[in-house]
Chain A
Amino acid sequence: MSSTAASRKIEYSDSENRNALIAVKAHLIGGLLVFLLMMLAGFAMRAAQGTWLEIAVDLFYQIMTVHGVGVVGAAGIASTGVLWYFLRQYVRLSNTIFWVNFCIFLTGVVMILGSIFLGGYGGAWTFLYPLPAISMGAWSTGAAAVFQLGLLVIGTGFLILYLDIGRAILAGYGSLAAALGLPQLFGKVPVDNTHPPTVVAGTMVLIVNFLGIAAGAVVLVMGLVNLYNPEFQPDALLMKNLIYFFGHVFINATIYASVTAVYELLPRYTGRPWKTSKVFYAAWFAIVFMVMAVYPHHLMMDFPMPQWMLVMGQILSFGSGIPVLVVTGYGALMIVYRSGIQWSTTTKLLFLSMFGWAAGVIPAILDAMVTINRVFHNTMWVPGHFHFYLLLGLLPMIIGFTYHLAGEGRQKEVKATDNVGFYAYLIGGFLTSMVFLASGASSVPRRWAVHMDEWVTFAQVGTVAAALVVLGTLLFILRALISLPRAADPS
């Protein structure tokens, strides 16, 4: 199907639209509240590492586990809300399935919380085999199993949602290749500038996350079999490969899903359309493969890994993120440049996200170089780079979208509280990440509950920075809670 059919917007009934809007808001509010709680958990961890707060070691690891799994889950559910909101304008998506995934997600969250705080599971969200099975008494087999079952349940919910998205895209565009714009890229059909970028991004997210979660579903069950049948001992390196494939793809896809907010909203606030082009398609096509093939950068210190995989992991890590980032960042600049845009907190956040994403990728790329990884592996450098693009790249996209939905983008003046929130968040997020990076550069290891005396200052500065982030997020969320529930659809 070609341009005219594709760029036609889908019609829904009023009640469907109302229900969909409520669902999207539920995703955002749910996600943001979890983010806030998890930031408090992060604050507590930093304070504990800085000796300002006393936390038992086992509790520290439970908090670290809940923080990791909580933010990844919140990122997944909130970014899905963003993507779904825009995608349903171009392909017919089912409200029911969207809600089904949300409810399954909540079920999984309850299971995971139970496994951590009732069962004492503290083996990190990466459930790296064989750690869940060898807790040395810190948690029971049952707790580890419920944690993995919870993840499995959440994964199943997402798979159901992706099946619906896949069905809808196939119905609208015939094949995923067409939705990605490949026939246009390869000159089979003329380039259509109005092909929606959201459809391209949504298709990419669908493909990689589908495969990622499918791998996760296999590896989680193998872990469960091992928990109850210890004589089954799968190859640990293969398990690690699958786990990181799943984990890397899932968290990365949240950024690619949320970036649709930039594609859709900046044009609305500047009055200039986001035009797709061959370069745009090429970038997104490349990223489909890159996101899936770069995960070996987590395994650089696993010497039995086939060398070609590590080489691939390093080379692709240089390039991963860059194509879409360049296309998006450049596109955003071109749209905003001399557009006479009125800066609101909504647009500021969206613009910030471009910076956060771009800058955060730099330490990530550094760490993906074997020679550097030899030194930085498992140091605070790692949390440093991902907090950078998650705190300053991903969250601003999600919060910016929330503000847009709340109607902030069209208000004449920026409220003082929003200003305070924005700068507290910006400075705090930047500092949090930079302190992590600085600690990493000084070889402070990650995932240590108790820090040596020499490292404590880092952690203390980190705690102050964390307080700023929490303050900013609190202001954002209060605002969202007050104006979001009643806000009409601004589009």
Chain B
Amino acid sequence: MLLKIKQEWLPLAAWFILALPPMQRFLEQSMVTHMLVQIPMLIIIGWMIGKTLPAEWKAKIAPWNRWGITGMALTIVIMAYWMLPRSLDGAVSEWYFEVLKFITLPVMGIALNLSWPLLNSIARGVLMLEFWATLMRLGWLYLDLPDRLCANYLLSDQRILGQLLLLGGSAYAISWTLRIMFGTKIIKA
């Protein structure tokens, strides 16, 4: 019993740790950790909350989320919003942007968790591809654009982020290839 409670509180605890000012400062001082650590963590927290949501809640949400379309639409809107350089800048300099970020990203994680399994397999494939293409396109843009996109971050930060996005995209492509070519799974899901 004790263990079960612990598991459910884990995401909330993680959320609080991320929200602690020193932690928040630390992760947001560079574009790389902001985009590749803090934001994904917030989404994963949401995903875990979604997993532990009580069954009655899920049953209540389900009619509003047929085939996972509503949830996916919400996910895409939130994700697109936080990919805008303006939003990231806002989160660093304005407190209300920051609050918005700490709420919407976990919500996105929850929506993703509830909707992904309901989604048609072809739609899932299209979204995964689009996600991959986004990694590559953004990575390329960050590498080649002559200007800084975020007023709060250095150009060199942007370049490193670009390289990491390209690396991440390539790793994603390779793992996907291995799985469908030979049925090998690198991460057991």
Contacts and interface: CB of A to CB of B under 8 A. Distances in A.
Interface of A: 97, 156, 159-160, 163-164, 166-167, 170, 174-177, 207, 214, 217-218, 221-222, 225, 231-235
Contact of B136 (A164, A218, A231): A218
Contacts of B140: 218, 222, 234
B182 A167 contact: no
Contacts of A222: 137, 140-141
A120 to B, nearest CB: 28
B122 A176 contact: no
A96 to B, nearest CB: 9
Nearest to B121: A167
Contacts of B136: 218
Given A159-B126, A214-B129, A234 B144 contact: yes
Contacts of B20: none
B181 A177 contact: yes
Contacts of A233: 144
Given A217-B133, A218-B140, A163 B183 contact: no
Interface string B141-174: 1001111000000000000000000000000000
A174 B141 CA distance: 37
Interface residues on B, range: 10 to 19
A361 to B, nearest CB: 27
A291 B175 CA distance: 22
8 contacts: A163-B122, A163-B125, A166-B125, A167-B122, A175-B180, A175-B182, A176-B182, A217-B133
A214 B144 CA distance: 20
B14 to A, nearest CB: 34
B137 A218 contact: yes
Contacts of B67: none
B132 interface: yes
A231 B136 CA distance: 19
A174 B146 CA distance: 46
Contacts of A174: 183
A232 B180 contact: no
Contacts of A235: 144
Nearest to B179: A175
A232 B141 CA distance: 8
A464 B180 CA distance: 50
Interface string B103-138: 000000000000000000110011001001100110
Given A167-B125, A214-B132, A232 B145 contact: yes
Nearest to A164: B122
Contacts of A217: 129, 133
Contacts of B141: 222, 225, 232
Nearest to A213: B129
B159 to A, nearest CB: 14
B122 A221 contact: no
A455 to B, nearest CB: 41
B80 to A, nearest CB: 14
Given A97-B122, A167-B122, A231 B182 contact: no
B129 A176 contact: no
Contact of B180 (A97, A176, A214): A176
A231 B148 CA distance: 12
A232 B144 contact: yes
B130 to A, nearest CB: 8
Given A166-B125, A175-B181, A218-B136, 11 more contacts: A159-B126, A160-B125, A163-B122, A164-B122, A170-B180, A174-B183, A222-B141, A231-B147, A232-B145, A232-B146, A234-B144
B146 A231 contact: yes
Contacts of B145: 231-232
Contacts of A156: 126
A164 B6 CA distance: 42
A163 B180 CA distance: 11
Contact of B133 (A163, A207, A221): A221
A235 B141 CA distance: 11
Contact of B182 (A97, A166, A177, A218): A177
Nearest to A224: B137
B144 A218 contact: no
Nearest to B144: A234
A217 B137 CA distance: 9
A242 B30 CA distance: 32
Contact of A160 (B122, B132, B183): B122
Nearest to A171: B121
Nearest to B180: A176
Residue among B145, B181, B183 with most chain A CB within 10 A: B181
A236 to B, nearest CB: 11
A65 B129 CA distance: 29
